Amino acid sequence: MPNIAATSPVPLTLDAVEALFNLPFSDLLFQAQQVHRRHFTANQIQISTLLNIKSGGCAENCGYCSQSAHYDTPLVRQGLLAVEEVVNAAKAAQAGGATRFCMGAAWRQPTANDMAVVVAMIKGVKALGMESCVTLGRLDAAQVSDLKAAGLDYYNHNIDTSRDYYDKVVTTRHFDERLATIALIQEAGIHVCSGGILGMGESRRDRAAMLLELATLDPQPQSVPINLLVKVPGTPLANAPDLDIFEFIRTIAVGIILPRSYVRLSAGRESLHDEAQALAFLAGANSIFYGDKLLTTANASSDHDRALFRRLDLQIEG
């Protein structure tokens, strides 16, 4: 067992993590806020802005995704954007207060030509003085070393759900392949951003197992995005039953088994009431995607977010 277990408030076993989940709601939130304050400055929020640099036509069959070529979704496909367009979008995000710019591409794995363009995009974002993040699908060791040389700060690669539930959601790739890419990123010294999606029909034990899997990575991911499923018409999960919002908040709170990781309230925030977002922050979420669009779906508007930060006395980090 890696020594990171010492910093978790509970032993890193599935039963112990599930027991944390099962605490009375207020006890869990109280504990989560206490642990959070031991490791982070209270009332601070990190904001990242997202841009989809290549949309749709993806070879994978992720059952939640608007960009999979396997499903007939409302998405319009779009090839890889030009470097200048991406750097201009990063400048606009920076002017709006974002400190990190995240670029996503609907690829199973980038080609050599794709990589050359993405490397130029990363360098352009870094030249602005922003942190850079990309999510490009699976990578080999040479690609990881190109990203490191370009100055990449974060790579987003989600495990998405538990090992047991994974093949209910996607069959064109496997859980261990996700872990293999994450291991390459860690070995290169690039920060890992890895989390998952809630509300895909998984059980509480699956949610516990997903967080446990992340918590037993060594080192733990620096950033953990928690997405609430956005139900995209045409995908197999278009009619998934709604997840109880308090279960969503509990999952964020159990994120304290990764006490030093930023927990990012990610997809699905547009559908959350302000009260639910306030509870998520109380449970320890301290990062969001900021900007009117995620990759292909709507995000909470920036104006609304700024007003919410004021009402909740949240300060933007950096």
The residue count for binding ligand SAM (CB under 6 A) is 17
Active site residue 193: yes
Among 137, 221, 225, 284, binds ligand DTB (CB under 6 A): 225
Supply the minimum distance, in Å, between the C-beta of residue 59 and ligand SF4. Answer: 7
Q: Of 45, 62, 159, 254, which one interacts with ligand SF4 (CB under 6 A)? A: 62
**Does the protein bind ligand SF4 through residue 68 (CB under 6 A)?**
yes
Q: x/- binding map, residues 46-75, to ligand SAM, per CB under 6 A?
A: ------------------xx----------
H/E run at residue 263 = strand 262-265
Q: By the 8 A CB rule, do 253 and 32 touch?
A: yes
| Residue number, 21 or 64, with CB nearest to ligand SAM | 64
Residues from 93 through 152 that contact ligand SF4 (CB under 6 A): 106, 137
Q: Mind spelling out the 3-state secondary structure of 75-133? A: CCCECCCCHHHHHHHHHHHHHCCCCEEEEEECCCCCCHHHHHHHHHHHHHHHHCCCEEE
250 is catalytic: no
Q: How far apart (Å, rounded) are the C-alpha atoms in residues 173 and 148?
A: 25
Q: Within positions 278 to 307, which residues make up the interface with ligand SAM, using CB under 6 A?
A: 295
| 293-314 CB burial, b ≥16 within 10 A, e <16 | ebbbeebbebeebeebbeeeeb
Instruction: Establish whether 58 is a catalytic residue.
Output: yes
Distance CA 184, CA 92 (A): 32
Q: Indicate if 310 belongs to the active site.
A: no
3-state SS class at 37 = helix
269 is catalytic: no
Confirm whether 260 is a catalytic residue.
Answer: no
Q: What amino acid positions are annotated as catalytic residues?
A: 58, 62, 65, 102, 133, 193, 264
Binding stretches for ligand DTB (CB under 6 A) = 50, 66, 102, 104, 135, 156, 158, 195, 225, 227, 230, 266-267, 294-297
